[in-house]
Amino acid sequence: MRIAVVILNWNGKGLLESYLPSITQYSEGAEIYVADNASSDDSVAFVEANYPTIKVVQNAVNGGFVKGYNDALKHIDADVYCLLNSDVEVSPNWLEPIRKAFEELPDASILQPKILDLKRKDYFEYAGAAGGFIDQLGYPFCRGRIFQSLEKDEGQYDDVREIFWATGACMFIKSKVFFELGGFDEDYFAHQEEVDLCWRAKNAGHKVYYIGTSKVYHLGGSTLSNMNPKKTFLNFRNSLFSITKNLPRRKAFLIIFIRLVLDAVAAFRFIFQLKFKHCIAIVKAHLSFYKHFTKMYRKREKANFILNYYAKKSIVWSHFVHQENVFKVLEKD
């Protein structure tokens, strides 16, 4: 199995200096690539001077996470792509459980390892944690991370389990599946594009797994912090994009209406917290969604829509009303 570890870079020399050492040391048997998004710093020169075995793919423009990978992967020949953020530190032997999983799980098309917080290595990290899920209304959450609540890693998720979505911070995907699905949707630019990709994969009959015996450490927030209004805009809008594209028509319309109400509640909550820019971001997210609705609707998959897509009816109700912060408690309901 030929694995290509592909690190997307944009003006990230400092991150490459910090995190390439672990990747080159512990990625035996894999080819390592830096996909550069038209950087204006000297990060490419740094890689070429200090890591001659790493191959550089130079993108013509900075198209964000989505277009950056879509453009670069066309030039990389491998059986499996590992899409790895530039702010990830990998651990010894991190690839072996992944190789084993692809061999032993023939229906697995997409995998993710355990994602831990680089700053607190015994805690799960926001972006992916121990595998991604969504609720009936399309709100994403993870084992080990419910909204901003992060669990301590005590071995409770050292398993192999089917999940709904794998994080873009460290995603393994079979190359033939990536191209079969048409890659990431470039209208997302960044954030929740991996949820959409995995949802489309599941509608097409593929499966996504979490491999808890492989672990990496993610710094997080190197592009946009969790509390950046731009990220709020992209998360709310792109979630509505995914609902429109990946659910049966009647169900999609009903959920979009419910989301209009709940997202309005979220906007007012930001007002009470004096986070006015986040409130405006939600309003802009909905306006952008309505503007692009027809375009998104035309992208709807022709495959059968799966109806058992959600792990919880309402993660918002469970978390904010019942104060449930741990995945294992959610599963008991």
pLDDT recorded at residue 216: 98
* H or E, element range at 285: helix 276-291
Task: Evaluate whether residue 224 is within a structural domain.
Answer: no
Which residues of the chain fall below pLDDT 70? 221-226, 303, 332-333
pLDDT at site 303:
67
140 shares its domain with 164:
yes
The range of the structural domain enclosing residue 130 comes to: 3-218
Where is the domain boundary, 187, 218, 249? 218
Do 102 and 169 belong to one domain? yes
| β-pair partners for 162 | 209
Q: Do 62 and 131 fall within a single domain?
A: yes
- Residue 187 forms part of a structural domain: yes
Instruction: Answer yes or no: do 119 and 214 share one domain.
Output: yes
What pLDDT, on the 0 to 100 scale, is given for residue 181? Answer: 96
**Number of independent structural domains in the chain:** 2
Whether 116 is in a domain gets the answer yes
Domain identity same for 201 and 280: no
Q: What is the value of pTM for the model shown?
A: 0.95
CATH of the domain at 100: 3.90.550.10
pLDDT tens readout for residues 152-196: 999 999 999 999 999 999 999 999 999 999 999 999 998 999 999
- pLDDT at residue 33 in the model: 98
pLDDT digits (tens, 9 = 90+) for 21-67: 999 999 999 999 999 999 999 999 999 999 999 999 999 999 999 99
Do both 121 and 214 map to the same domain? Answer: yes
Task: Identify whether residues 238 and 214 lie together within a single domain.
Answer: no
Angle at 145 between CA 143 and CA 150, to 5 degrees: 130
Q: Is 268 left (phi over 0), alpha (psi -120 to 50) or beta?
A: alpha
Q: Are 100 and 243 within one domain?
A: no
3-class SS of residue 132: strand
Q: For position 296, what pLDDT does the model report?
A: 96
Answer yes or no: do 56 and 173 share one domain: yes
Last residue of a domain, one of 218, 243, 258: 218
Do 296 and 207 fall into the same domain? no
